[in-house]
Structure formats: structure tokens, C-alpha cells
């Protein structure tokens, strides 16, 4: 998937862009909140409890209260404080100014993230409020609004979450790499910038600041948490690291621990990612891992019972599945590549002979690329993408597709400046991307091509004409490897197309 936002967008530009985003609001939630605000019998706590069922409205009110506060006063940390600062009449007018949205008009990814935020709230309140009763408000509002910096982003770009969950949760790609590709920076940096700009509750800012600026502490704690069967050894290690021990026991960290659990459970309760967060909760709560797992599973079921959105994924559903099942990881069929048949090779030789004819039998590049595609198919390639380059080799234009739907790749896309592409665009070059080298090469290959060939071994070649690279060719056999005979045919075809372009360019018009 290509970048869905302009290249090189800065944090300040993101903040300006998202600060003015109108967040969707359910009509029923807005009317319920208005009714509570206008009820003479309800206390601020009662009103806040009603509005907490509509986190978007709670977020809008808290953000508005902090926008207008003086530099001498502390930002509000709870909805009750925000209601008190703004006054009930001003809050009512604010709600009346909001536009109503039908559920069907709100992007499903945004509604799914709302549900994740509510699950986070249920888990955090259930795990920690008994232990830290005096901090109930911080736990409640911090967990309910922890994901709120992503709401304007997903209102504008709902496809972001679909891509993020598939690649980060499903395929275990590094989150920072995926996020830099999609939005130009780590998501934690964007969320931290927005949380600080909106003066969200301190616990939210502290959480994102830790994840963005000092994740090493979290890594050390996760490492110690692995030894759940040796609690005495865990405590001894923490005693030897007093700074880590003090950090671990900071109440605000409960939001990070719970968010990690909820995001991992969105994919699988039995995955290593989910298990490591449950181990960390076990270490923090000083409870056995089995007890923590039982509690988190019960809270997930409790959350599912409160929901009415049948089109959204409920993590509790996965508790009924085999433990190792991962919802977002699609099993890749280990298809073996087949060699071209003798009939295929006969056709391949015919196509190559046409490419090599002199004078050139072709009157335009469309005819050349069609013949080239036929030759590649005959030597065993199931999917083919042929791209022509502009004179500066900064953009590629898709000229021909075989076995690939046109909507799967943009008609034109930019070519980044990196070492691999620079070499590819300097002279005729052949790259074979396999499972063994994909992690090293993929970051340097256009995202548009990676999205097409992410599940297979594939070939990417550049073709030059008069010392200038003019064409890129990507192809695979729709399999997890390339057959040696098909690969040999691919290489020979590259020689033929190179010669064909020279003959075609020198023809008399």
C-alpha cells in the first residue's frame, strides 16, 4: 500500500490538519448527553457517567475546556472538572453545535478503534481500580481516551487501521517501519504531539512519552516479566535495578500495559504478543499468570455483553477458538512453483524470436510490452507487471499487467531515492526477492510492488536502452519460490527485451 498522505509531512502539519477534523457523533449519544446536562436532578458525576458512554463527546468537552484555560490554571484531567470549568450551559451549546452521524456513515475502522478503547477501559478499570481506588478517575478517563489521538486520523484516513492491523498485528512487521511508510513518522510520536497539543490527561501524555522517547524501560520490564514461574528471581532482579523498579510501579504505566494487552488480543489471546503483556501485568500486580489471564478473559466477555455492534470484532469471540489461532494472520499456502512445459518453452522461443527480429516488427511500445508479457508467461510467470520510467527515472507508469487486477496498483507512483533503487535504476539489474532476503530488501522497494508480491518469491528487473534504464519488470509464479527453469527463462527474456528496445529505437520512421 502506498503512502496515503503527502510525503515528508511534519508533526506540526499533522497537528494542524487533525486539529480541525470534525469527529463523528452518534445522534442518540448527543441527545442522551444533552438530556443529562439539562436535567436539574443530576450531579456532575451523574452527567459525566452518562457522557462516558459516548467517549467522543467526552473528548470534545475535555479538549474544549483545556483550549480556553489560562496558563496559570492546570489542564482538566476528568470530565467532571471539564464540565465545571465550562459550565453546563456552555457544554449544552457545544453539544448542540455538533452534527449527527448515522452509524452506517461512520467508517468501520474508526468504530472498531472506538470499541478497542472501550475494551481498554473495561480491562483497566477491572484490573486496577480495586488496587488503586483513589486513582479511579485517572484510570477511567485515561483508559477511555487513551486512543483518542487516533480518532481524527482515522476519521480522515480509515484505511490506515486496516493496513496497520494486517501488517503490524497480523504479519509482525515492525510498527515503526510500517507507520513511517504510511504517515511519515511513528504513530506514538503523532499521538504524543496531539495529546500535548490538546492537553489531554497527564497519564495519557506520560504513556505516549514513554513509548516514544524511552521504550527501553518497557523492554527491560518485559524481559524480567518473562520468568513468571520464578517470582522470587523477578523481585531480586528488580531490587538490583531500583530505577526500573520505581518506574514499573508508576500508576500511569497501567494504561500502557492495558493498551498493549488489548491491541494484542485484537488478533489473538494465545499469541506471544498477548502473553508478554499478560506476564507484565502479572509482574505489576504480583499475581500468578493464570489468575491474570482468567481476569482478562472474564473482562473481555463482560465487555462483549455490553456491545450491540455485530459488524465489529469482539476479542471475546476468539476465546472460543483454538488457542494458537491468530485472526489477522492468514496462512500462506506453500505452493511449489511448476516448471514450464515443453509446449510453453516452444511458445517462449517464438515470442523471443519476435523480440529479436531486425528490423523491429513493432510500431509502438504497447506492442513490445504485450509480446514481452507473452514471453514471460510462456516461461512460467503467472503474474507480470511492466512499468515504463519517465526520463528522470523518478516515476514509474504501469504499462501492462497480467494476472493482477488494475485496482491493486496505482497507474503511476514515485520511486524513492535509496541504495537499492539507485543501483536498479543505474543499469540493467535483476533482483530475486525471497523469504530469506525480503526483510533486508523490502524497505528499499516501492511499497506499491511490495503490496502485490508480499506473499511470494518474485523477480524485479530493470531494463536499459542506450545506457538509460527505461523499464521495470516485476513477475512471480504465484508461489513461495521460483522454479529454476522459469528463472532461467526470465533472465534470457531480459536479454531479448534489451536487444528489442535497441532495435526498436534505431528503426527508420
Neighbour count for residue 131 (Cβ, 10 Å) = 14
| Average model confidence (pLDDT) across the chain | 90
Q: What is the CA radius of gyration of the chain?
A: 28
The better pLDDT of the pair 475, 8 is held by 475
C-alpha pair distances (Å), 200 with each of 54, 207, 252, 500: 17, 11, 13, 63
pLDDT of residue 2: 39
- Picking from 486, 206, 476, the residue whose alpha carbon sits closest to that of residue 345 is 486
Contact 332, 164 (CB under 8 A): no
Residue 359: asked if its preceding bond is cis (omega within 30°), the reply is: yes
| Structure confidence at residue 13 (pLDDT) | 93
Interacting residues of 387 by C-beta distance below 8 A, sequence separation 6+: 396, 397, 398, 399, 471, 472, 473, 474
From the centroid of its chain, how far is CA 54? 25
The whole-angstrom separation of Cα 82 and Cα 90 is 11
Q: What is the pLDDT of residue 70?
A: 57
Question: Could you report how far apart the first and last alpha carbons of the chain are, in Å?
Answer: 41
Phi, psi at residue 458, to the nearest 5°? -150, 165
- With b for 16 or more beta-carbon neighbours within 10 A and e for fewer, the 158-195 pattern comes to bebbebbbbbbbbeebebeebbbbbbbbbbbbbbbbbb
pLDDT in tens, 45-87: 999 999 988 999 999 999 999 986 655 578 899 999 999 999 9
Whole-Å CA distances, 315 to 116, 127, 134, 267: 9, 17, 29, 8
For 157-175, what is the mean pLDDT?
Answer: 90
Instruction: With a cut of 70, say whether residue 334 has pLDDT above it.
Output: no
Q: Look at the domain 342-505 and name its fold.
A: Beta-Lactamase (3.30.450)
For 469-480, what is the mean pLDDT? Answer: 91
Tell whether the torsion through CA atoms of 235, 239, 244 and 247 is positive or negative.
positive
User: How far apart are the C-alpha atoms of 327 and 268, rounded to whole Å?
Assistant: 6
Per-residue pLDDT band for 9 (boundaries 50, 70, 90) equals: confident
**Nearest Cα residue to 163 out of 151, 150, 173, 155:** 173
Residue 300 contacts residue 265 (beta carbons within 8 Å): yes
pLDDT single digits (tens) 215-264: 888 999 999 999 888 899 999 999 999 999 999 999 999 999 999 999 99
Instruction: Give the position of cell 452518562.
Output: 50
Cell (9 digits) for 328: 489477522
Decide: 476 and 453 in contact? Cβ < 8 Å. Answer: yes
Let me know: does 396 contact 415? Beta carbons within 8 Å: yes
As a whole number, mean pLDDT of residues 381-406 equals: 92
Dig out the grid coordinates for 90 from the structure. 456552555
Instruction: Read off the pLDDT band of 371 (50, 70, 90).
Output: very high
430, β-bridge pairs: 461
In this prediction, residue 364 carries a pLDDT of: 92
- Interval 438-457: pLDDT, tens: 888 888 898 889 888 888 89
The tally of CA atoms less than 13 A away on the side-chain side of residue 374 is 16
Provide the residue ranges of all domains of the chain, joining segments of one domain with +: 26-100, 106-311, 342-505
Closest CA to 428 of 459, 372, 472: 472
382-417 burial string, b = 16+ CB within 10 Å, else e? bbbbbbbbeeebeebebbbbbebeeeebeeebebee
pLDDT at residue 171 in the model: 86
- Please check whether residue 389 is in contact with residue 425, taking contact to mean a CB–CB distance below 8 angstroms: yes
Residue 374: band (very low, low, confident or very high) from pLDDT cuts 50, 70, 90: very high
Contact 441, 471 (CB under 8 A): no
Give the torsion sign (CA, 91, 97, 102, 108): negative
Amino acid at each position: 500500500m502506498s503512502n496515503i498522505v503527502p510525503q515528508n509531512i511534519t508533526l506540526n502539519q499533522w497537528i494542524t490538519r487533525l486539529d480541525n477534523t470534525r469527529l463523528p457523533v452518534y445522534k442518540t449519544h448527543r441527545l442522551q448527553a444533552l438530556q443529562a446536562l439539562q436535567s436539574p436532578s443530576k450531579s456532575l458525576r451523574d452527567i459525566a457517567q452518562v457522557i462516558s458512554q459516548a467517549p467522543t463527546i467526552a473528548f470534545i468537552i475535555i479538549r474544549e475546556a483545556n483550549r480556553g484555560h489560562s496558563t496559570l490554571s492546570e489542564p482538566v484531567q476528568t470530565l467532571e472538572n471539564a464540565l465545571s470549568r465550562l459550565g453546563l450551559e456552555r457544554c449544552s451549546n457545544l453539544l448542540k453545535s455538533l452534527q449527527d452521524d448515522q452509524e452506517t456513515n461512520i467508517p468501520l475502522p474508526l468504530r472498531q478503534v472506538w470499541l478497542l478503547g472501550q475494551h481498554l477501559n473495561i480491562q483497566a478499570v477491572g484490573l486496577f481500580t480495586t488496587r488503586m481506588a483513589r486513582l479511579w478517575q485517572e484510570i477511567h478517563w485515561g483508559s477511555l481516551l487513551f486512543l483518542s489521538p487516533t480518532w481524527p486520523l482515522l476519521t480522515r484516513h480509515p484505511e490506515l487501521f486496516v493496513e496497520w492491523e494486517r501488517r503490524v498485528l497480523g504479519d509482525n512487521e515492525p510498527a515503526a517501519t510500517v507507520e513511517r511508510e504510511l504517515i511519515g513518522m511513528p504513530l506514538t510520536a503523532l499521538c504524543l504531539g496531539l495529546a500535548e497539543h490538546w492537553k489531554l490527561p497527564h497519564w495519557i501524555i506520560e504513556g505516549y512519552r514513554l513509548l516514544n522517547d524511552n521504550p527501553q524501560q518497557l523492554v527491560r520490564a518485559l524481559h524480567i516479566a518473562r520468568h513468571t514461574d520464578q517470582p522470587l528471581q523477578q523481585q531480586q532482579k528488580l531490587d538490583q535495578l531500583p530505577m526500573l523498579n520505581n518506574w514499573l510501579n508508576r500508576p500511569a504505566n497501567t494504561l500502557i500495559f492495558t493498551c498493549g494487552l488489548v491491541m494484542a488480543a485484537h488478533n489473538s489471546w494465545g499469541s506471544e504478543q498477548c502473553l508478554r503483556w499478560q506476564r507484565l501485568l502479572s509482574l505489576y500486580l504480583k499475581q500468578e499468570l493464570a489468575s491474570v489471564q482468567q481476569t482478562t478473559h472474564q473482562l473481555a466477555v463482560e465487555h462483549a455483553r455490553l456491545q450491540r455492534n455485530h459488524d465489529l470484532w469482539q476479542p471475546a469471540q476468539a476465546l472460543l477458538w483454538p488457542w494458537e489461532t491468530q485472526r489477522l494472520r492468514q496462512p500462506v499456502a506453500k505452493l511449489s512453483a511448476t516448471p514450464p512445459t515443453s509446449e510453453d518453452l516452444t511458445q517462449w522461443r517464438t515470442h523471443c524470436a519476435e523480440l529479436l527480429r531486425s528490423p523491429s516488427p513493432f510500431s509502438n511500445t504497447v506492442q513490445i510490452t504485450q509480446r514481452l508479457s507473452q514471453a514471460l508467461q510462456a516461461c512460467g510467470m503467472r503474474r507480470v507487471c511492466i512499468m515504463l520510467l519517465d526520463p528522470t527515472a523518478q516515476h514509474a507508469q504501469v504499462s501492462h499487467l497480467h494476472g493482477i487486477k488494475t485496482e491493486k496498483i496505482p497507474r503511476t507512483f514515485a520511486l524513492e531515492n535509496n541504495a537499492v533503487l539507485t543501483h536498479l535504476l543505474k543499469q540493467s539489474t535483476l533482483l530475486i526477492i525471497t523469504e530469506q532476503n525480503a526483510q533486508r530488501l523490502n524497505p528499499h522497494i516501492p511499497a506499491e510492488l511490495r503490496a502485490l508480491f508480499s506473499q511470494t518469491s518474485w523477480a524485479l528487473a530493470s531494463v536499459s536502452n542506450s545506457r538509460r534504464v527505461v523499464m521495470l519488470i516485476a513477475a512471480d509464479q504465484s508461489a513461495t519460490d521460483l522454479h529454476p527453469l522459469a528463472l532461467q527463462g526470465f533472465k534470457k527474456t531480459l536479454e531479448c527485451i534489451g536487444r528489442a528496445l535497441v532495435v526498436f529505437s534505431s528503426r527508420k520512421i
